[in-house]
Structure 1
């Protein structure tokens, strides 16, 4: 019985400790890096906040990459994601409209 109580207490504490870690805010995570972008690009990138190819935060690996292949600026977390997008922008059309 004591083992069950101890296990329950451990699970409860793990849950409480985990509660202190909230989901990161995309804007908070990107702010430092995105502030390096020109103002107009910064606004677009903050509103987009995630890469349309891999869904990672734009600041995942430094300053985001920008493409205007579709006539509208789109940002990517890496050169690789931008290259994949530019090979087939239609594949990611649904991601762009979100």
Structure 2
């Protein structure tokens, strides 16, 4: 009896607290000019900029042509090759500001 009551109460709470609604996505902006095989993106909220790692070639090759771009928060290009001469950069993080 307790198990049935507990199960019914849990089902009631879950159905009442978690209504399912369809989510819609809306494209705000997009950019492709200046990017070469973009791999990772990191938004820096403190500076309101977006970092993008660009592999620029074979993702396993050490060719020194990869780079990091900086975009403004509105999607416009700020600095196409902020850091250059990288070997297929992947992953993004901000360390110590």
Shared fold, TM over 0.5? no
The TM-score normalised by the length of structure 2 is 0.31
TM-score by length of 1: 0.31
Identify which of structures 1 and 2 has the higher relative contact order when contacts are C-alpha pairs closer than 8 Å and 6+ apart: 2
Query: If each structure's strand is expressed as a fraction of its own residues, which one has the higher value?
Result: 2
Higher helix share: 1
